[in-house]
Amino acid sequence: MKQAIVALGLMVIAAGTPTTEGQAHPTPLSISSAVEKTGLYLLAGDYRRALEACEQGIQEAPSAEAYLRLTYVYQAIDAYLEQLSKDESWMAVEQLYLNLAYRHTEDLVDPPGGLARMAKEMIQTSVRQQSDVSAAMAVRLNKAASDRLWQEQTQWRSAHPTTWWQAFPDAWVR
């Protein structure tokens, strides 16, 4: 199952997404389609694009919900790294590092380097810090919505303790 998800993630990474650089005004996604799109990136293990989609959502429509989706993705990366570490899947840690580090084709000729265990520590430190920042921003915008979304994700994590980071909570997708 993990291999299939990693393979799907690598196919998504290799295929890329169409850019909007040539467009004067890219069409903003609806909130539900943005959540679905980010959910697909999570399922594929394409955490860089999941982060980018959440950041785009914040740019287009800042809200407590948007900041908490970003927080969730940071925490998903952290949990995924913990699972890979427990499983001693260091090759998958390197693949995650490359997914987060590579952005453009020029990275293929000047690749970022890194050892898997060092990459794990660097990524986890960063995502934990950014998670705290985005969670605080969500609370400042709407504490009631933040509290509700934290409850939904706590229930989701309890129901899916070893795979919760592969998708948003069901309540978020409806």
109 pLDDT higher than 70 = no
pTM equals: 0.67
Q: Is 44 among the domain residues? A: yes
Give the C-alpha distances (Å, rounded to integers) separating 57 from 34, 67, 94, 117: 7, 9, 28, 32
Q: Is 173 among the domain residues? A: no
pLDDT tens digits, 56-87: 999 999 999 999 999 999 999 999 999 999 99
The answer to whether 140 touches 41, Cβ cutoff 8 Å, is no
Residue 83 has what pLDDT? 94
How many domains does the chain divide into?
A: 1
φ/ψ bin of 16: left (φ > 0), alpha (ψ from -120 to 50), beta (otherwise): left
The answer to whether 42 touches 35, Cβ cutoff 8 Å, is no
| Boundaries of domain holding 54 | 2-10+29-168
Q: Is 95 among the domain residues? A: yes
Residue 3 has what pLDDT? 42
The answer to whether 77 touches 165, Cβ cutoff 8 Å, is yes
Residue 107 has what pLDDT? 59
Residue 101 has what pLDDT? 85
